[in-house]
């Protein structure tokens, strides 16, 4: 049986993605050596599941649907930008979530226990922080001018979006980058 690299995500509105791409372009002018996420792949990951057996997908998708139906739709705002772990040792460039971050965390926390019970998820060591990954630095060297570029983005905003559904996604890794496929859509209650 096939195994699929799987994750659960919130798709962003086109207007949010357009603003995120503009942010990537701005950062690319002052930060070299970053592999930027393709515009169509920009999303908010709730949980990364890793390799999931195809036979487990119906139960997985059903569980996600049950959880999302118990929670109301909500608005979130994509705003601010930073680096993980920090600007001195950047590895991942991200855009943050301000308004709605509590609801995103509540959704994550509601999904985690039943997915752990299903056996298709392993809890991460670090605390969940809602964010949109913009790109990954190719080296371990902090680019010159990074701190100045990041300081200018404290008040940056991509705007608000209404979260009405959650997607179970598969990710196929290719030399050109990952290709994402929506496996199921779970509507919020």
Using 50, 70 and 90 to split pLDDT, how confident is the model at 173? confident
Whole-prediction pTM:
0.91
| pLDDT tens sequence across 103-159 | 999 999 999 999 999 988 888 888 999 999 999 988 766 666 677 777 788 789 999
Question: How confident is the model over 163-177, as a mean pLDDT?
Answer: 92
CA angle 14, 15, 17 (to 5 degrees): 60
Q: 162: alpha, beta or left, given left = phi > 0 and alpha = psi -120 to 50?
A: beta
Told to judge if 131 belongs to the known catalytic residues of this protein, a careful annotator would answer: yes
| pLDDT tens sequence across 47-56 | 999 999 999 9
The per-residue pLDDT for 76 is 96
Told to judge if 91 belongs to the known catalytic residues of this protein, a careful annotator would answer: no
Domain edges within the chain: 3-187
| pLDDT tens sequence across 59-84 | 999 999 999 999 999 999 999 998 88
Annotated catalytic residue: which of 43, 91, 108, 167?
Answer: 43
Question: How confident is the model over 84-109, as a mean pLDDT?
Answer: 91
Q: Does domain 3-187 have CATH number 3.40.50.620?
A: no
């Amino acid at each position: 049986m096939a195994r699929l690299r799987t994750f659960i995500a919130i798709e962003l509105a086109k207007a949010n993605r357009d603003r995120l791409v503009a942010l990537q372009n701005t950062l690319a002018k002052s930060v070299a050596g970053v592999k930027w996420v393709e515009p169509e792949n920009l999303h908010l990951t709730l949980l990364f599941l890793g390799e999931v057996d195809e036979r487990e997908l119906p139960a997985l998708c059903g569980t996600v649907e049950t959880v999302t139906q118990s929670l109301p739709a909500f608005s979130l705002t994509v705003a601010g930008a930073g680096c993980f772990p920090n600007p001195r040792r950047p590895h991942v460039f991200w855009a943050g979530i301000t308004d709605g971050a509590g609801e995103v965390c509540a959704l994550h926390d509601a999904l985690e226990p039943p997915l752990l019970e299903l056996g298709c998820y392993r809890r991460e060591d670090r605390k969940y922080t809602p964010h949109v990954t913009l790109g990954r630095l190719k080296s371990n060297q902090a680019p010159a001018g990074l701190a100045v570029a990041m300081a200018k983005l404290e008040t940056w905003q991509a705007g608000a979006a209404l979260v009405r559904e959650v997607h179970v996604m598969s990710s196929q890794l290719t030399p050109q980058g990952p290709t994402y496929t929506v496996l199921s859509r779970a509507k919020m209650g």
